[in-house]
A and B are shown apart, each in its own frame.
Chain A
Amino acid sequence: MKLSWFNKKTPTYPDFWNDYLDCFNDTKKGDIQNTRFIALDTETTGFNIKEDRILSIGAVSFIEKKIQVNNSLELYLEQDIFKPETVEIHGLMKKGLLEKVTELEAIKLFLSYIKNAVLIAHHANFDKNMINEMLLRHGLDELKNEFIDTGILYKKSKHIIYQSTLKPISLDDLSKELNVPLVDRHTATGDALITALVFLKILARLDKRKHLKWDYLLNK
């Protein structure tokens, strides 16, 4: 007897989405050392998941401790929704001089870039929700990748004595704390690089015996 949900008609997805899903066929997790990580950041028109839109996505990838500059992603999206008040922060004009892509094009490029890498972001939930919302708008499903939040990870890395008094920490403060050079703050790629370095520095501070494990990193 077959269970009913096996018979449910699955929606037909475009090829690029199926290609993306294929990346997850091998479910076995490898060593942390050999895993491809991608640190990413999005710049948006605001903080409302439903209404606001992604203006740009920046991402850098690394394996072990080596970040390859020529293997980074920097996407600027064409927008209909545009709020003049947020321009001040990230300086992305609606019709700027930058080469822009449509949302769908951005999704294709983004998915083929990230594949099954473990994604890292500061306050990751926001970026994750923004991206998922964008995928759903285009009739796709949510991201399948594992996420690591540098904000949460940092808090866990601190000495137990100080943990209780720690407040959520901004990427700016965290970079200062960990002595990461702050360049290109508030461009998606710049923040992605900062997030990558922050992540590597936190990893170096963790107790190698106890904490360098997936369960700990992925906050399970």
Chain B
Amino acid sequence: MKNSIADRVFDFLKKYPPFNLLKNDDLLEISKQVSIIYLEKGDTVFKKGDDFNTDFYLVRNGAVTLFHTNSNNEQEVLNICDAGDVFGVRPLITKENYKLTATANEESIIYAVPIDIFQTVTSDNASVYKYLITAFATNAYDPYTAEETGKIFVDYLPHTSQDMVNFQSANYTKRPITCNIDSTLKDAAIKMSTHKIGCIIVTNEHEYPMGIITNSDIKNKIATGLFPIETSVSYIMSSPVITAKKGLTVADGQLQMIKHNIGHLCITKDGTANSRLIGVLTHHDILVSLGNNPSVILKAIKRAKRTRKLRTARLKANNLLKSYLEQNIPLSHIIKIISQINDTVTAQAIVIALKKMPTPPPVSFSWMAIGSQGRKEQLLFTDQDNAIVFNDVSESKYKETQDYFLKLAKLVTKSLNKIGFEYCEADMMASNPEWCKSLSEWKLQFKDWILNPDEKAILLSSIFFDYSHVYGDEKLIDDLSDSIFENLNKTLSFIKFLGIEAVKSPSPLGFFKQFLVEQDGEQKDLFNIKSRAMMPLIDAARLLILNNKIKGINNTSERYEKLAEIDPNNKELYESCSYAFKALLKFKTKQGILLNNSGKFIELKTLTKEEQLKLRRCFKPIHEIQESLKLRFDLKNFI
């Protein structure tokens, strides 16, 4: 019987190795036996330690992430397979359990190819096998598959992605600034200041490194008056220097620094102090190589020319976030860095998309982040919420202009999705014609929401009133804000509606001071930290800030700090709200990292007693701010 689907599977397979090496008849036979599997984001194909399946897999649409579980039982992304990539081939080579975990990175369709049929068909096809094995062994064919099966063929493959960086050779500074051993400290200091460097290497007449002088040497030995400034550098310098050969790995470099408690390594021709100096490796160079550094990530983002690069950079930011949380770095600082990274990723995605457009934008526009990204509270990957406002055009040009920006938005949202930001399920995205409009249209839209508030308007305003500029012409947004405040002056009922919304959800604690948890469904007995604890604080902050006509502050904790400043009577309340919000966001983020989701739902059992108490403490300000709103806006009669 004819099987049209098998024909289509065939058409796809034959484009990719190793299937392109098979005879058509054989490939058709395989195509008939394939299963098509649909994966939701997060669905697992196989887990580390699982018995091997009877199939191996090929990505048809979407992407599948391969995770490696390291010795601390943490999951690390080894790589992400895109359309055409083969994965799960271990059972094809050796009948061992899986060493990796494969999980859908986004909604995906994969083909499962039965191994026995593949093997029967290819058994007499030596070229396929030779190809597979040599390809796996030499990394020539597909880096993902090679990493997964590599251990069978090569002696050593790094265990983790961090290791891979560790074993790269370190990038050191070539041609470092030096001074001769006869010079005075003043000369050396002048050189350091002209070249804006923090250290200088002292060399002898053969250019052998003799010692090193750093800023702290100058501070400790000269500025304190211990030595006069005309002293010869030979008295001041730290000596001898620690040297290494070029080509040393990042890990080696780091090890040497830790061992000798130093921040600089001199790279010399033969690796000893008795040869010519060719470079310096600093602690900063190591940090840069490890990439655990926001400025390095930002630089990588700005340089990215393809979405795939952006994804890698954004994934690094997640590691950064994790280590920040572990180190207990203040959350307001973390928020600033991560939202800067998110905004830069979005801006760069727009830059990439603009290059793909046939013409430059017909008029100026601004890309707005709305919702949690607009409030700069998006620490983990969550939904993308965005909108476009473009400059006014004549009516005859409107459709054409809007179409241009819709097309642009489609490209951008698609690449944001690829990077890891889910599409908004309510379609609050710039690619929706409703949220991609001219400045005048937006003004009308906000005017309508403000002057005719109904349930839908309030629902939408909670997202759209937290807009912030990401890319393009900021003036447009400024203009929009002015128009909004103008309209807010005309009516009181809108503020009242917002107030009702903000006090609607009751305190997260029940009558007996127990946590109110979800009653049924998948989230049964979980505590929804977002809707029960964070939303009331977010809503209240928005209302108060709008009522005070303050523009440009979107972040909830910053809003409360601003309110504390302008309303000293309630300073304490606002400050406690700000603190509570930051603590809640931290809870949510930690939970999200733990479960690899948005962290909305908290399993109370997993919290320690102390954490539970801390969480409870955050609820007090919620109750207090709600009570204060009720009094201030006279909401008692409305609820």
Binding site for B on A (CB under 8 A): 58, 60, 65-70, 72, 74, 76, 98-99, 159, 161-162, 179, 181, 183-184, 187, 189-190, 193, 197, 200-201, 204-205, 208-210
Contacts and interface: CB of A to CB of B under 8 A. Distances in A.
A197 B460 CA distance: 31
A100 B459 CA distance: 57
A77 to B, nearest CB: 13
Given A67-B37, A193-B5, A208-B521, 13 more contacts: A67-B36, A68-B35, A69-B33, A70-B3, A74-B2, A74-B4, A99-B1, A159-B426, A162-B427, A183-B11, A197-B38, A197-B109, A210-B521
A209 B601 CA distance: 13
Nearest to A58: B4
B546 interface: no
Contacts of A200: 38
10 contacts: A69-B9, A69-B32, A69-B33, A70-B3, A74-B2, A99-B1, A190-B8, A197-B109, A204-B40, A205-B425
A131 B561 CA distance: 68
Interface string B1-40: 1111110110100000000000000000001111111111
A181 B112 CA distance: 18
A208 B109 CA distance: 20
Contact of A98 (B2, B37, B426): B2
B37 A70 contact: no
Nearest to A204: B40
Contacts of B60: 181
A184 B10 CA distance: 13
Contacts of B425: 159, 205
A179 B521 contact: no
Contacts of B462: none
Contacts of A66: 35-38, 112
Query: 10 closest Cβ contacts across the A-B interface?
Result: A209-B521, A67-B36, A159-B426, A200-B38, A204-B40, A65-B38, A189-B4, A68-B35, A66-B37, A183-B8
A140 B32 CA distance: 33
Contact of A208 (B34, B36, B459, B522): B522
B37 A204 contact: no
Contacts of A187: 4
A69 B112 CA distance: 10
B521 A70 contact: no
Contact size range, B: 35 or more
Interface in B104-138: 107, 109, 112
B61 interface: yes
Interface string B442-482: 00000000000000100110000000000000000000000
A187 B61 CA distance: 21
A15 B40 CA distance: 42
Interface in B282-305: none
B523 interface: yes
B254 to A, nearest CB: 44
B520 interface: yes
A70 B112 contact: no
A65 B5 contact: no
Chain B interface mostly = mixed
B5 A69 contact: yes
Given A183-B8, A190-B8, A72 B3 contact: yes
A70 B33 CA distance: 5
Contacts of A76: 2
A179 B413 CA distance: 13
B5 A209 contact: no
From A58, A65, A69, A201, residue with most partner B Cβ within 10 Å = A69
Nearest to B55: A66
A67 B426 contact: no
Contacts of A189: 3-5
Given A74-B3, A197-B109, A65 B456 contact: no
Contacts of A190: 4-5, 8
Contacts of B43: 65
A179 B9 CA distance: 17
Contacts of B427: 159, 162
Nearest to B424: A159
Contacts of A193: 5, 8, 36
Contacts of A99: 1-2
Given A65-B39, A69-B6, A69-B33, A74 B1 contact: yes
B5 A60 contact: yes
Contacts of B32: 69-70
Given A98-B2, A201-B38, A204-B107, A209 B520 contact: yes
A184 B2 CA distance: 14
B464 to A, nearest CB: 13
B35 A69 contact: yes
A208 B4 CA distance: 33
A15 B229 CA distance: 110
B212 to A, nearest CB: 58
Interface string B37-49: 1111101000000
From A60, A161, A210, residue with most partner B Cβ within 10 Å = A161
Contacts of A205: 425
Interface string B49-68: 00000000000110000000
B3 A69 contact: yes
Given A66-B112, A159-B426, A204-B40, A209 B523 contact: yes
A69 B34 contact: yes
B36 A69 contact: yes
Nearest to A205: B425
A189 B32 CA distance: 14
Contact of B107 (A181, A201, A210): A201
Nearest to A165: B434
A172 B39 CA distance: 22
A179 B523 contact: no
A58 B40 CA distance: 25
Contacts of A204: 38, 40-41, 107
A74 to B, nearest CB: 6
A99 B3 CA distance: 12
From A72, A76, A190, residue with most partner B Cβ within 10 Å = A72
Contacts of B107: 179, 201, 204
A179 B61 contact: yes
Contacts of A60: 5
Contacts of B3: 69-70, 72, 74, 189
Nearest to A157: B425
